[in-house]
Protein backbone atom coordinates (compact mmCIF):
# COMPACT_ATOMS: atom_id res chain seq x y z
CA UNK A 1 0.00 0.00 0.00
CA UNK A 2 1.29 3.50 -0.84
CA UNK A 3 1.27 6.45 1.59
CA UNK A 4 -2.20 7.56 2.80
CA UNK A 5 -3.55 10.75 1.26
CA UNK A 6 -2.73 13.16 4.08
CA UNK A 7 0.28 11.30 5.41
CA UNK A 8 3.35 13.57 5.16
CA UNK A 9 5.89 12.21 2.66
CA UNK A 10 9.37 11.75 4.07
CA UNK A 11 11.81 14.13 2.38
CA UNK A 12 14.12 12.31 -0.03
CA UNK A 13 17.70 11.79 1.03
CA UNK A 14 19.19 12.65 -2.33
CA UNK A 15 19.35 11.77 -6.01
CA UNK A 16 19.83 8.28 -7.42
CA UNK A 17 20.85 7.69 -11.02
CA UNK A 18 19.84 4.34 -12.51
CA UNK A 19 21.97 3.41 -15.54
CA UNK A 20 20.28 0.59 -17.43
CA UNK A 21 22.42 -1.33 -19.93
CA UNK A 22 20.16 -4.40 -20.13
CA UNK A 23 20.24 -4.86 -23.89
CA UNK A 24 17.64 -7.66 -23.86
CA UNK A 25 15.10 -5.22 -22.48
CA UNK A 26 12.18 -6.73 -20.61
CA UNK A 27 13.54 -10.24 -21.27
CA UNK A 28 16.58 -9.34 -19.19
CA UNK A 29 17.09 -11.22 -15.92
CA UNK A 30 19.45 -8.48 -14.79
CA UNK A 31 16.76 -5.83 -15.28
CA UNK A 32 14.33 -8.12 -13.46
CA UNK A 33 16.60 -7.93 -10.42
CA UNK A 34 17.47 -4.23 -10.67
CA UNK A 35 13.96 -2.80 -11.14
CA UNK A 36 12.48 -3.90 -7.76
CA UNK A 37 15.68 -2.83 -5.98
CA UNK A 38 15.48 0.63 -7.57
CA UNK A 39 11.77 0.75 -6.64
CA UNK A 40 12.74 0.08 -3.01
CA UNK A 41 15.40 2.78 -3.21
CA UNK A 42 12.88 5.24 -4.67
CA UNK A 43 11.30 5.57 -1.21
CA UNK A 44 14.57 7.18 -0.09
CA UNK A 45 15.96 8.76 -3.27
CA UNK A 46 14.71 10.81 -6.19
CA UNK A 47 15.32 8.39 -9.05
CA UNK A 48 16.33 9.28 -12.59
CA UNK A 49 16.99 6.61 -15.20
CA UNK A 50 19.35 6.68 -18.16
CA UNK A 51 18.27 3.87 -20.48
CA UNK A 52 21.27 3.08 -22.66
CA UNK A 53 19.22 0.61 -24.69
CA UNK A 54 17.13 3.42 -26.14
CA UNK A 55 20.11 5.61 -27.03
CA UNK A 56 22.38 5.53 -30.04
CA UNK A 57 25.78 5.61 -28.32
CA UNK A 58 29.00 5.17 -30.24
CA UNK A 59 32.55 5.13 -28.95
CA UNK A 60 34.80 8.09 -29.68
CA UNK A 61 35.91 8.23 -33.32
CA UNK A 62 38.76 10.26 -34.83
CA UNK A 63 36.32 13.08 -35.61
CA UNK A 64 34.44 13.09 -32.28
CA UNK A 65 37.77 12.87 -30.46
CA UNK A 66 39.04 15.89 -32.43
CA UNK A 67 35.83 17.79 -31.61
CA UNK A 68 36.31 16.99 -27.93
CA UNK A 69 39.81 18.49 -28.16
CA UNK A 70 38.18 21.74 -29.38
CA UNK A 71 35.79 21.70 -26.41
CA UNK A 72 32.83 20.35 -28.39
CA UNK A 73 31.13 17.57 -26.47
CA UNK A 74 27.74 16.14 -27.52
CA UNK A 75 25.02 17.85 -25.51
CA UNK A 76 23.55 14.54 -24.30
CA UNK A 77 26.95 13.39 -23.02
CA UNK A 78 27.60 16.57 -21.09
CA UNK A 79 24.10 16.42 -19.55
CA UNK A 80 24.59 12.78 -18.55
CA UNK A 81 28.05 13.53 -17.11
CA UNK A 82 26.54 16.32 -14.98
CA UNK A 83 23.82 13.94 -13.75
CA UNK A 84 26.52 11.44 -12.75
CA UNK A 85 28.54 14.12 -10.98
CA UNK A 86 25.44 15.31 -9.12
CA UNK A 87 24.04 11.91 -8.08
CA UNK A 88 24.27 10.79 -4.45
CA UNK A 89 23.88 7.13 -5.38
CA UNK A 90 24.26 5.22 -8.67
CA UNK A 91 22.78 1.87 -9.68
CA UNK A 92 24.18 0.19 -12.79
CA UNK A 93 22.34 -2.79 -14.30
CA UNK A 94 24.23 -4.68 -16.99
CA UNK A 95 24.37 -8.35 -18.00
CA UNK A 96 27.71 -10.18 -18.13
CA UNK A 97 28.88 -10.14 -21.74
CA UNK A 98 32.23 -11.36 -23.01
CA UNK A 99 33.55 -11.60 -19.45
CA UNK A 100 32.57 -8.01 -18.62
CA UNK A 101 29.56 -5.90 -19.60
CA UNK A 102 28.00 -4.86 -22.93
CA UNK A 103 30.12 -2.49 -25.03
CA UNK A 104 27.34 0.12 -24.99
CA UNK A 105 28.09 0.68 -21.29
CA UNK A 106 31.82 1.14 -21.98
CA UNK A 107 31.00 3.53 -24.85
CA UNK A 108 28.69 5.45 -22.50
CA UNK A 109 31.44 5.69 -19.86
CA UNK A 110 33.87 6.88 -22.53
CA UNK A 111 31.47 9.59 -23.73
CA UNK A 112 30.64 10.90 -20.26
CA UNK A 113 34.09 10.70 -18.68
CA UNK A 114 34.64 14.42 -19.06
CA UNK A 115 37.49 16.48 -17.69
CA UNK A 116 36.12 19.18 -15.40
CA UNK A 117 32.81 17.33 -14.85
CA UNK A 118 33.40 13.75 -13.66
CA UNK A 119 37.13 14.19 -12.93
CA UNK A 120 40.02 16.62 -13.15
CA UNK A 121 43.67 16.53 -12.21
CA UNK A 122 45.62 18.42 -9.61
CA UNK A 123 48.90 18.45 -11.50
CA UNK A 124 50.00 15.20 -9.88
CA UNK A 125 47.08 12.82 -10.32
CA UNK A 126 43.45 12.53 -11.37
CA UNK A 127 40.83 13.54 -8.85
CA UNK A 128 37.17 12.51 -8.98
CA UNK A 129 34.57 15.28 -9.02
CA UNK A 130 31.46 13.20 -8.31
CA UNK A 131 29.55 13.45 -5.07
CA UNK A 132 28.26 9.86 -5.14
CA UNK A 133 29.14 7.79 -2.08
CA UNK A 134 27.90 4.35 -3.14
CA UNK A 135 27.43 2.43 -6.39
CA UNK A 136 25.35 -0.71 -6.77
CA UNK A 137 26.24 -2.89 -9.75
CA UNK A 138 23.62 -5.51 -10.65
CA UNK A 139 24.49 -8.28 -13.08
CA UNK A 140 23.75 -11.86 -14.10
CA UNK A 141 26.25 -14.26 -15.62
CA UNK A 142 25.66 -17.25 -17.86
CA UNK A 143 28.67 -19.22 -16.68
CA UNK A 144 29.53 -20.43 -13.19
CA UNK A 145 31.69 -17.41 -12.38
CA UNK A 146 31.22 -15.81 -8.96
CA UNK A 147 31.92 -12.15 -8.17
CA UNK A 148 35.61 -11.67 -7.44
CA UNK A 149 36.73 -14.47 -9.77
CA UNK A 150 39.58 -13.19 -12.00
CA UNK A 151 37.48 -14.11 -15.05
CA UNK A 152 34.87 -11.59 -13.91
CA UNK A 153 35.93 -8.22 -15.31
CA UNK A 154 32.78 -6.20 -14.62
CA UNK A 155 33.23 -5.43 -10.93
CA UNK A 156 36.96 -4.55 -11.14
CA UNK A 157 36.28 -2.14 -14.00
CA UNK A 158 33.49 -0.36 -12.15
CA UNK A 159 35.69 -0.13 -9.05
CA UNK A 160 38.48 1.40 -11.14
CA UNK A 161 36.05 3.89 -12.68
CA UNK A 162 34.83 4.75 -9.19
CA UNK A 163 38.45 5.58 -8.33
CA UNK A 164 38.72 7.91 -11.35
CA UNK A 165 35.39 9.68 -10.87
CA UNK A 166 35.19 9.51 -7.06
CA UNK A 167 32.01 7.42 -6.78
CA UNK A 168 32.73 5.75 -3.46
CA UNK A 169 32.14 2.18 -2.45
CA UNK A 170 31.02 -0.35 -5.11
CA UNK A 171 28.72 -3.22 -4.15
CA UNK A 172 27.88 -5.99 -6.64
CA UNK A 173 24.69 -8.04 -6.58
CA UNK A 174 25.01 -10.93 -9.01
CA UNK A 175 23.51 -14.26 -10.00
CA UNK A 176 25.63 -16.68 -11.97
CA UNK A 177 25.50 -20.03 -13.77
CA UNK A 178 22.20 -18.76 -15.19
CA UNK A 179 22.60 -20.48 -18.57
CA UNK A 180 23.17 -23.93 -17.08
CA UNK A 181 20.42 -24.38 -14.50
CA UNK A 182 16.69 -25.15 -14.54
CA UNK A 183 14.07 -22.39 -14.98
CA UNK A 184 13.06 -22.95 -11.32
CA UNK A 185 16.65 -22.42 -10.15
CA UNK A 186 16.92 -19.29 -12.32
CA UNK A 187 13.80 -17.85 -10.66
CA UNK A 188 15.16 -18.81 -7.25
CA UNK A 189 18.44 -17.00 -7.93
CA UNK A 190 16.65 -13.91 -9.26
CA UNK A 191 14.42 -13.79 -6.14
CA UNK A 192 17.47 -14.26 -3.90
CA UNK A 193 19.20 -11.27 -5.51
CA UNK A 194 16.04 -9.12 -5.24
CA UNK A 195 15.76 -9.96 -1.52
CA UNK A 196 19.46 -9.17 -1.03
CA UNK A 197 19.04 -5.86 -2.88
CA UNK A 198 15.90 -4.80 -1.01
CA UNK A 199 17.69 -5.54 2.26
CA UNK A 200 20.69 -3.51 1.09
CA UNK A 201 18.39 -0.65 0.00
CA UNK A 202 17.70 0.14 3.67
CA UNK A 203 21.31 1.17 4.28
CA UNK A 204 22.50 2.02 0.75
Ligand X SMILES: Cc1cc2nc3c(=O)[nH]c(=O)nc-3n(C[C@H](O)[C@H](O)[C@H](O)COP(=O)(O)O)c2cc1C
Binding site for ligand X (CB under 6 A): 22, 24, 28-30, 95-99, 140-143, 145, 178-179
Q: What is the DSSP letter of 9?
A: P
Q: Any alpha helices (H) in the chain, and if so which ranges? A: 29-41, 62-69, 75-86, 103-112, 154-165, 183-201
Q: Measure the N-to-C terminal CA separation of the chain; round to a whole number of Å.
A: 23
For ligand X, which residue has the nearest CB?
A: 142
User: For residues 160 and 84, what is the distance between their CA atoms, to the nearest angstrom?
Assistant: 16
Taking the least distance from each CB to ligand X, the nearer of 45 and 96 is: 96
Q: Write down the least CB distance from residue 137 to ligand X, Å.
A: 13
Taking the least distance from each CB to ligand X, the nearer of 136 and 145 is: 145
Burial class from Cβ neighbours inside 10 Å (0-12, 13-18, 19+) for residue 183 reads exposed
Q: Write down the least CB distance from residue 87 to ligand X, Å.
A: 23
Taking the least distance from each CB to ligand X, the nearer of 122 and 182 is: 182
55-90 CB burial, b ≥16 within 10 A, e <16:
eebeeeeeebeeebeeeebeeebeebbebbbebbbb
Taking the least distance from each CB to ligand X, the nearer of 67 and 149 is: 149
Q: Write down the least CB distance from residue 27 to ligand X, Å.
A: 6
CA 61 remoteness from chain centre: 24
Taking the least distance from each CB to ligand X, the nearer of 111 and 140 is: 140
Q: Write down the least CB distance from residue 96 to ligand X, Å.
A: 4
Q: Write down the least CB distance from residue 102 to ligand X, Å.
A: 7
Amino acid sequence: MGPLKNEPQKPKEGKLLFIDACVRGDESRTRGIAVPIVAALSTRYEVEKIDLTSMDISPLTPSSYAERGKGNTPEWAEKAARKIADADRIVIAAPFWDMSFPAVLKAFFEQVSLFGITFEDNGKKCVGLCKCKKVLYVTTRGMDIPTGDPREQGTPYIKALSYLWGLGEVETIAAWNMDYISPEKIEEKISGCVIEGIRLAKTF
